Amino acid sequence: MHTIEFQKRGLPHVHLLLFLHPDNKYPSSTDIDQIISAEIPSHQDDPELYRLVEKHMIRGPCGILQPNSPCMKEGKCSHFYPKQFQPQTLDNKYPSSTDIDQII
């Protein structure tokens, strides 16, 4: 079942209902850990990639360190940073990072 709507600028927007076979449902958190990982590259091994990741993919500082940061609303980061690292992947809540050093 689906409907296609056209937004203000004429772009299509789809609402879609799918029924998946039980074998094709969401993977477990263990499966997710085997598929997805993110690590900051080594500054020594690849300084250019490290610089790009640091510049474009790492947030901060905000909070007490920089209260005038654009993300700050009423004294708190509107993106809920800083976040604590999680010891394991959970697939039942808002996304958060897992600390690979705690797993190894």
Residue 38 has pLDDT above 70, yes or no: yes
Residue 87 has pLDDT above 70, yes or no: yes
Of the ranges 20-24, 58-62, 73-77, 84-88, which is most confident? 73-77
22, with CB counted inside 10 A (0-12, 13-18, 19+), is exposed
User: Quick one: average pLDDT of 53-59?
Assistant: 83
Q: Using 50, 70 and 90 to split pLDDT, how confident is the model at 100?
A: low
In a domain, 103, yes or no: no
Structural domain containing residue 30: 2-97
In a domain, 6, yes or no: yes
Number of domains in the chain: 1
* pLDDT for 8: 77
In a domain, 91, yes or no: yes
In a domain, 104, yes or no: no
In a domain, 102, yes or no: no
In a domain, 67, yes or no: yes
